[in-house]
Amino acid sequence: DASRLADFADHEQVWLGRDEERGLTAIVAVHDTTLGPALGGTRVWPHENFEAALTDALRLSHGMTLKAAVAGLALGGGKAVIVADARSDKSLRLLDAYAEMLAALEGQYITAEDVGLSLEDADYLRARTPNVTGTTRGGSGNPSPVTAQGVFLGIKAALKHQSGSEKLDGVRVAVQGLGAVGWSLAKRLRNEGARLSVSDIEPARADKAVTHLDAVALEGDAITTADVDIFAPCALGAVLSETTIPLLKAGIVAGSANNQLATPQDAERLRARGILYAPDYVINAGGLINVAEELTPPGYDADAAMKRVGVIPRTLGAIFRRAEAEGRTTDAVAETIALEYIESARAKKARR
């Protein structure tokens, strides 16, 4: 249905790869390459139909353009989806077929891990074709500590904007999800004296935080409405909605989870309640900054990647100030900043 795809008319290229014998249906979408080559992970997901998969690839690649731009990276936005169930349909044969598709694109799209595509899968692809980042052998590997550091610095930037001080001592933070990012974030927060409330659907993870980080464990949705200063969603998307926003007690929402807003209108709901929201794709850009470091000569350097996430609190500070001055949501201002950056790069290119 072309009319339903009209919102996505600004994509540069979209490829479809099919190999029935090896079970591959893949869509690679390149949104914009003004700032540099299109980079974004490959998502393996059992979309219910082709249109849903295409919409996902178009929406996600558009998001990657904004994410790279607002992080000040020389990268464009791309994303791929493989229509398959990562637990039951993913096979080496399928990955072989996908590697062939990537090779045929000759670097027009650079991939990385994402939901359903593990670091091991990325390694497998990289052994067969270049233009795979985030691999463990010779690549940047697990991005989570860098993402956590970016979120940690972003939380401090939000505190500073709101109270003039970035001190975490005694500040109450609710961390939802203690996975790779959430756990690493919780440790950083605790080291600087924050008082933690935590939740995880895996009780052992929350128990570990109670034992080692002096945290209080909360069950179910109680974490969303906990009486804290900061809510850090580090598990699922769509946690900020018409239903949850009126119940939030935190004055700041700043966490790693992707797509935290259930709908675009939820940014305005947060603003109306005076809750400072760190746009998810700005504060969680550490993972992308980490893989981008691989493409920066002379190659990947973990310390350099950790240093580069310093851009996140600076950008967030600018977004918070501008949003306040213009009476707009932080989400809208983040998008404006990304688009302004791309536009000025495009104008510079045109003058050359």
Active-site residue set: 79
Is residue 176 close enough to count as binding ligand NAD by CB under 6 A? Answer: yes
The answer to whether 255 and 283 are in contact (CB under 8 A) is yes
Q: Which two tokens stand for residue 330?
A: 């932080």
Is residue 177 close enough to count as binding ligand NAD by CB under 6 A? Answer: yes
Is residue 74 close enough to count as binding ligand NAD by CB under 6 A? Answer: no
Amino acid letter for position 109: Y
What number of other Cβ atoms are within 10 A of residue 218's Cβ?
Answer: 18
Residue 242 CB, shortest distance to ligand NAD, in Å, is 18
**Residues 204-233: x where in contact with ligand NAD by CB under 6 A, - otherwise, as a string:** -x----------------------------
Size of the site for ligand NAD (CB under 6 A): 23
Q: Which two tokens stand for residue 41?
A: 């992970």
Applying CB under 6 A, the span of 57-65, 85-93, 127-135, 140-148 interacting with ligand NAD comes to: 140-148
Buried/exposed 256-294: b ≥16 CB within 10 Å, e otherwise: bbbebbbeeebbbbbbeeebbbbbbbbbbbbbbbbbbbb
Our separate counts of H helices and E strands in the chain read 12, 12
- Residue bearing tokens 């359903």: 116
Is residue 287 close enough to count as binding ligand NAD by CB under 6 A? Answer: yes
| Alpha-carbon span 302 to 143, nearest angstrom | 10
* Three-state SS sequence of 57-83: HHHHHHHHHHHHHHCCCCCEEEEEEEE
Is residue 141 close enough to count as binding ligand NAD by CB under 6 A? Answer: no
Is residue 279 close enough to count as binding ligand NAD by CB under 6 A? Answer: no
Up-side HSE of residue 258: CA atoms within 13 Å toward CB?
12
| Alpha-carbon span 204 to 41, nearest angstrom | 29
Is residue 144 close enough to count as binding ligand NAD by CB under 6 A? Answer: yes
Applying CB under 6 A, the span of 57-65, 71-79, 91-99, 195-203 interacting with ligand NAD comes to: 195-203
Residue 267 CB, shortest distance to ligand NAD, in Å, is 18
- Residues 296 to 335: which contact ligand NAD by CB under 6 A? none
Report the residue number, 17 or 90, with the smaller CB distance to ligand NAD: 90
Applying CB under 6 A, the span of 11-19, 255-263, 271-279, 307-315 interacting with ligand NAD comes to: 255-263
Is residue 284 close enough to count as binding ligand NAD by CB under 6 A? Answer: yes
Is residue 129 close enough to count as binding ligand NAD by CB under 6 A? Answer: no
Give me the residues that bind ligand NAD (CB under 6 A), please.
143-144, 147, 176-182, 199-202, 205, 234-236, 256-258, 284, 287
